[in-house]
Every structure is written in C-alpha cells, then in structure tokens.
C-alpha cells in the first residue's frame, strides 16, 4: 500500500471505511486527503498525473447529443494480488443493457498513452480500488475498464458528463475520481437505489476526491456543468474506473 510514512494506520482506516460503506449502503466518498495519503502524493505530484488529461481525444459518440467530451480508453485484467495485464485494444461495448444511448453499439476510442500506463499513480489507484472492490466480490481475476474523461461546458455546448442520465455501468464496482475542474459550476454526482431513493449526493470539488459505488444495486448520474465566467469554457476532468469479474466481461 502506498502511504506516507507514519500515516499507514490512517490510510488503512480510510480504506476499511470505504469497504464497509460500499458493501453496506452502496456508495462512499474518499476525500482528497485520504486518497493522496494512500498514493503518497502531494499537490505537485498530483499535478503531474493531471497532466495526462491534456492529451485526450474528442469523443465523437458523445458529440451526437451535443456534449463536448474528450477521452481515452484501456482495459486490464488484474489479479487480486494487483498484477495487471493490458488487454489488446478493442472496441468498448457497454456491459449488459446498461446504457440506453449505446445499446449494442461497439465504440472505438483512442488508447491510453504509454506515459499514462507507466505512471505509478495509476498502479496506486488500481491497488486502492481493487482493495475496495474486494469487499463486493472475490473473483479469480478482475476486468478493469479505465476511462480518463474531460467534459467541457459553454454557452453553446452541453457540459454533460452523463448524457444517458442516471444509469448503471453493468459492472461490480464503479468509481469516479476528480482529477481537476476549472471555471465550473454544477457537476453534482448522485447515487440512488433501484427505487430512486437517494443514497449519496456530492459535488466532487477537490482534485483527488474519489466516489465509489456498488454498481449492481445502485444507479448514478452527474448533472450539467456550466461556466462561472461565460466567456471561458467550464472544464471537469475525471477518471472513471470500473471492476467486474473476468467471467462477466
């Protein structure tokens, strides 16, 4: 576990709380301080990781609904011990019938960059999320989908992180990590149960804040972002990572 010297017990407690809440109520938010402690990062180190979001590519599928979104995509197979293998590049097909906008549609995105794949922060995040996912299931191996996103909002384009509305991803664990936001109002995340009852509502405002949820029994969505200064686009950068058993790919 990547923790700042002398703070291991604090980090262990944070992960234990996340495991307990995601297993019991279905969702949990890890604040910035806990995530940075786990990763052993300060703000300068985080800024280096956030730099990968300057090398994303337009998402032509989101553009159909008027959303200006940039992204890349990669898929891994990960063992419970944390060993990861990058799967060959292929189309992204939403598991099950979980996304009404892209039912039975295979989407092709630019792959994750070599620099992103080599960043030790990615290893740390997969370790953290794998530990939380282990509270929900214990497969021989996980299939992990990694999606860095940038959503832009302006007067003439929708800053819509989830144009499909409230949805499930058809996985076991779903997570959303705020990487950064600028000139943005809105972007509130909500997690509800199958009857639409609120489990958790939060605005990820500080970089490195992490929202995790049990996707099998919750639905999630994010409202629009809009620019505080209308003369400059609003920006919201996130990393969405999902875990599902390999046999359920």
- In sequence order, which ranges of the chain are alpha helices (DSSP H)? 8-24, 32-39, 43-50, 60-63, 114-118, 120-133
Give the model confidence (pLDDT) of 191-203 as tens digits: 999 999 999 999 9
* Overall average pLDDT of the 77-95 stretch: 82
* Span 52-67, average pLDDT: 82
| Confidence band, pLDDT 50/70/90 cuts, at residue 6 | very low
pLDDT in tens, 204-223: 999 999 999 999 999 999 99
Q: CA geometry: angle at 111 spanning 108 and 116, to 5°?
A: 155
At residue 55, the pLDDT reads 98
CATH code for the domain of 95: 2.60.120.620
Any domain includes 17: yes
What value does the mean pLDDT of the chain take? 89
Question: Is 60 within a domain?
Answer: yes
Which residues span the domain enclosing 104?
8-248
- CA torsion sign for 123, 239, 234, 92 is positive
Nearest to 147 by CA among 68, 76, 247: 76
Tell me the per-residue pLDDT of 117-132, one tens digit each, with 9 for 90 and over: 999 999 999 999 999 9
155-170 as b/e: b if 16+ CB within 10 A: eebbbbbbbeeebbbb
Q: How many domains does the chain have?
A: 1
pLDDT at 230 over 80: yes
Strands (DSSP E) found in the chain: 27-30, 57-58, 68-71, 74-78, 84-86, 92-93, 106-107, 142-153, 173-182, 184-186, 188-192, 198-203, 210-214, 219-222, 225-227, 234-245
Residue 229 pLDDT greater than 70, yes or no: yes
Judge residue 81's burial from the number of C-beta atoms within 10 Å of its C-beta, 0-12 exposed, 13-18 middle, 19 or more buried. Answer: exposed
Claim: this prediction has a pTM higher than 0.85:
yes
- On whether residue 115 sits in a domain, the answer given is yes
Kindly report, residue by residue over 40-55, the tens digit of the pLDDT. Answer: 999 899 999 999 999 9
Radius of gyration, alpha carbons of the chain: 17
The predicted-structure confidence for 170-193, as pLDDT tens digits, reads as follows 999 999 999 999 999 999 999 999
Residue 144 falls within a domain, yes or no? yes
* 3 within some domain: no
Assigned domain for 2 exists: no
Residue 148 belongs to a domain: yes
Q: Which is more confidently placed, 94 or 172? A: 172
Q: How far does CA 42 lie from the centroid of its chain? A: 20
Residue 101, pLDDT score: 55
Distance, in Å, from the CA atom of 108 to the CA atom of 63, rounded to the nearest integer, reads 14
| Mean pLDDT of all residues in 135-158 | 92
Give the distance from CA 199 to its chain's centroid.
Answer: 18
Q: Is residue 1 part of a domain?
A: no
Q: Which residue has the higher pLDDT, 160 or 158?
A: 160
């Amino acid at each position: 576990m990547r923790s700042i010297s002398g703070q291991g017990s604090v980090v262990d407690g944070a992960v234990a709380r996340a495991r307990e809440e995601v297993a019991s109520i279905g969702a949990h938010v890890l604040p910035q301080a806990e995530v940075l402690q786990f990763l052993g990062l300060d703000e300068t180190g985080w800024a280096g990781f956030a730099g990968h979001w300057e090398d994303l590519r337009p998402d032509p599928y989101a553009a159909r609904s008027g959303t200006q979104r940039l992204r890349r995509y990669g898929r891994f197979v990960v063992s419970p011990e944390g060993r990861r293998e990058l799967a060959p590049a292929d189309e992204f097909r939403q598991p099950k019938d979980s996304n009404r906008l892209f039912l039975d549609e295979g989407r092709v995105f630019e792959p994750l960059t070599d620099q992103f794949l080599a960043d030790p922060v990615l290893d740390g995040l997969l370790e953290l999320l794998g530990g939380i996912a282990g509270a929900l299931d214990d497969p021989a191996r996980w299939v992990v989908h990694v999606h860095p996103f940038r959503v832009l909002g302006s007067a003439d384009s929708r800053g819509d992180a989830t144009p499909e509305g409230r949805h499930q991803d058809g996985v076991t664990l779903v997570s959303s990590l705020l990487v950064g936001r600028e000139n943005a109002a809105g972007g509130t995340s909500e997690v509800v149960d199958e009857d639409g009852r609120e489990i958790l509502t939060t605005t990820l405002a500080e970089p490195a804040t992490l929202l995790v949820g049990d996707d099998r029994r919750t639905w999630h969505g994010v409202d629009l972002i809009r620019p505080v200064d209308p003369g400059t686009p609003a920006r919201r950068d996130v990393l969405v990572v999902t875990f599902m058993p390999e046999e359920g790919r």
